[in-house]
Amino acid sequence: MALFRRRDPNAPRIPRKDRRGASPVTVGLVLLGVLVVVTYLGFTKHIPFTHGFQVKAVFNTANSLRPNSPVRIAGVNVGKVKKIERYGDSDASVVTMEVTDAGLPIHKDATMKVRPRIFLEGNFFVDLQPGTPSTPTISSGDTIPMTQTSAPVQFGDLLTTLQTDDRHNLQEVIRGFGGALTRKPDARDDRTADPDVRGKTAAQSLNLAAKYGKQAFRGAAIVNDATLGTEPHDLSRLLRGLSRTTAGLGRDEQTLKDFVTNFNAFNRIFASESQSLRATIRDLAPTLQTADRTLTDLNNAFPPTRVFARDFLPAVRETPATIDASMPFIAQTRKLLGPTELRGLAAELSPATRDLAKAINGTVTLLPQQDLLAKCFDRVLLPTGDIKIDDGALSSGAENYKEFWYTMVGLAGEGQNFDGNGSYVRFQTGGGTQTVSSGKGSLSGDTFFSRQPEKPLGTRPAFPGKRPPYKPNVPCFTQGVPDLNDAPIGPADASRPSTDIGSGAAVPVPGVTAPAPGAPPAPAAGTRTAGRSVTAQALDRLNPFRAQEHGK
């Protein structure tokens, strides 16, 4: 198909006025409109009825910002100011800016400053710092608070701050400061002042303080050098962290106000404790010296600790295997401690344990009584049994306790012979012409009579005529050992007083050491009671042949 058709030369010619089509004026106006739009878009680079990324910022003052004022990042234009409005009922301003893609993204910790342009440009621009990449980004239409914006101080603002009253107050401050430097201190001031500056003005004291400046500046230089850190970018990281902290405080103005109020109260407390704070600071230097020595010793202790930890690593590695190896033992131990084993045995032994506890509690009362009985045996009864009875021609020369057993043995031997009437040994139970009486002092309280073929020669010991006194509150071991050979032979003789067995008086006995007054008697050295228990001694008395087995 042909793009255009050649006019037929034979076709009739149509006059211009009769032709039908677009008017040249209309075509020219349309072409002119297109040229205007293209020119506008070429210079403004903005499509009408649309807008790009917009961000708002609250400034303390707009400071001669106008619409279309540039927004720059590091001196490069990335947007422009679109609108300036009043922030509520305050004197602050809300500046709406449109930022191109070259200025994105903008983070929540971004800051904005109103800065003057160079002399040839005039007016002001907004210097945008997009923030740190690690913080979240803002969306189109978000507002940056006043704590992250600032405006320059104009010379006119500086002049308006120094009005007549303010200048007068400033003069008074300077005059008062000069008077404070030149005032001569009185006795009350010197009472609390340092001895080096007593009687000197503040200016003179400051001059004297200059000699300490060398050491102070050296310390400040060390502190400043330490603030640089030990690794690259330590200071920048510190500043970045402080920036995040201040930005976080700025996002919540009420929290910041509360912080300032609390900090003021905190400083007021410090001011009220100035004396204690001064003493604390005075002791801070020796404390730091001690801490430095302590940290040095601690640092010296680290190498042995590292060596120990390194040597201990094999044991740590063996710990899982040790635990695994101990699991069968733990399983068997759990079974041993189960209800059918030790736990059940403990439950069965519980009643016996309770009874045993009661028995042990009873020994608290029993053992003191046993102790008294043992002392009685050891210090009175057993020494009395060791006494040999002197009976003249009838004396056996044996201890009296042995004579009893010799009699039992003799009777047993005699009793082995018997006939149809029984044993040969007979005891005459009565008969004779002589009547004897037990007297009224018998243990039963009754009087017994018997008949004897011969008149008795006497009794030993002689009947004292009264019952021996019984004193249950006097311990047995405190009684003296009776002298059995000194007992009188009855009837009682008026010229020889009878022995009161229950008097508790110690009667000296040959071979027996009497105890000191107020102290319990001790066994004599070399006797059978020395080094022997009371039970063993009692068994020796009951069985005389037992002593022969021990080589006595």
Residue 444's pLDDT is 64
The number of helix segments (H) and strand segments (E) in the chain equals 15, 12
Residue 515's pLDDT is 40
Q: Give 153-163 pLDDT, tens digit per residue.
A: 766 666 666 66
Q: Which residue has the tokens 């922030």?
A: 87
Lowest-pLDDT range of 139-143, 163-167, 199-203, 547-551 = 547-551
Residue 523's pLDDT is 45
DSSP 460: S
How far apart CA 379 and CA 372 sit, in angstroms, is 10
Task: Please state the rounded mean pLDDT for residues 361-387.
Answer: 88
How far apart CA 61 and CA 474 sit, in angstroms, is 112
Beta carbons of 400 and 394 less than 8 angstroms apart: no
Beta carbons of 481 and 506 less than 8 angstroms apart: yes
Reference 378, options 269, 485, 232, 529; nearest CA is 529
Residue 426's pLDDT is 64
DSSP 107: B
Residue 199 tokens, joined: 């009687």
Task: Please state the rounded mean pLDDT for residues 259-284.
Answer: 83
How far apart CA 55 and CA 138 sit, in angstroms, is 9
How far apart CA 496 and CA 488 sit, in angstroms, is 8
Helix, strand or coil, per DSSP, at residue 143: strand
By CB neighbour count within 10 A (0-12 exposed, 13-18 middle, 19+ buried), where does 298 fall?
A: exposed
Residue 547 tokens, joined: 């002593």
Q: Between 377 and 46, whose confidence is greater?
A: 377
In the chain, pLDDT over 70 holds for what percent of residues? 76
Residue 493's pLDDT is 40
Beta carbons of 97 and 81 less than 8 angstroms apart: yes
Q: Which residue has the tokens 């009825």?
A: 49
Reference 149, options 116, 111, 117; nearest CA is 111
Beta carbons of 455 and 480 less than 8 angstroms apart: no
Reference 140, options 52, 54, 79; nearest CA is 54
The CA-based dihedral angle spanning residues 279, 280, 286, 290, taken in that order and rounded to the nearest 10 degrees: 150
Residue 174's pLDDT is 87
How far apart CA 371 and CA 424 sit, in angstroms, is 46
**C-alpha angle with apex 281: 279 to 287, nearest 5 degrees?**
105
Q: Judge whether residue 319 has pLDDT over 70.
A: yes
Q: Give 339-349 pLDDT, tens digit per residue.
A: 888 888 888 88
Residue 544's pLDDT is 52
Task: Please state the rounded mean pLDDT for residues 440-457.
Answer: 72
Residue 417's pLDDT is 73
Longest dimension (CA), the chain: 213
Render the burial of 461-472: b for 16+ CB within 10 Å, e for the rest.
bbbbeeeeeeee
Residue 352 tokens, joined: 């016996």
Task: Please state the rounded mean pLDDT for residues 103-119.
Answer: 87
Q: Judge whether residue 96 has pLDDT over 90.
A: yes
Beta carbons of 406 and 398 less than 8 angstroms apart: yes
DSSP 379: I
Q: Tell me which amino acid residue 206 is.
A: L
Reference 263, options 273, 255, 252; nearest CA is 255
Residue 84 tokens, joined: 């300036």
Reference 123, options 157, 81, 158, 161; nearest CA is 81
Residue 498's pLDDT is 37
**C-alpha angle with apex 184: 179 to 185, nearest 5 degrees?**
115
Beta carbons of 126 and 72 less than 8 angstroms apart: yes
Residues with Cβ within 8 Å of residue 505, at least 6 apart in sequence = 480
Helix, strand or coil, per DSSP, at residue 99: strand
Reference 379, options 270, 267, 506, 276; nearest CA is 506
**308 half-sphere exposure, CB direction, 13 A CA radius:** 5
Domain ranges, ordered by start, for the chain: 53-155, 365-411+447-549
Task: Please state the rounded mean pLDDT for residues 534-543.
Answer: 60
The CA-based dihedral angle spanning residues 487, 493, 497, 499, taken in that order and rounded to the nearest 10 degrees: 30
Q: Give 231-250 pLDDT, tens digit per residue.
A: 777 778 888 888 888 777 77
Beta carbons of 112 and 63 less than 8 angstroms apart: no
By CB neighbour count within 10 A (0-12 exposed, 13-18 middle, 19+ buried), where does 378 fall?
A: buried
Residue 307 tokens, joined: 């060596």
Average pLDDT, the chain: 77
Q: Which residue has the tokens 């053992």?
A: 367
How far apart CA 128 and CA 149 sit, in angstroms, is 9
Residue 10's pLDDT is 66
Identify the band that residue 491 occupies on the pLDDT scale cut at 50, 70 and 90: low
Beta carbons of 496 and 488 less than 8 angstroms apart: yes
Kindly give the pairing relationship between strand 449-452 and strand 434-437. antiparallel
Q: Left, alpha or beta for 473 (phi > 0: left; psi -120 to 50: alpha)?
A: alpha
How far apart CA 528 and CA 532 sit, in angstroms, is 7
Beta carbons of 78 and 101 less than 8 angstroms apart: no
First CA to last CA across the chain, in angstroms?
160
Residue 117's pLDDT is 81
Whether pTM > 0.75 for this model: the answer is no
How far apart CA 237 and CA 245 sit, in angstroms, is 12
Residue 548 tokens, joined: 């022969």
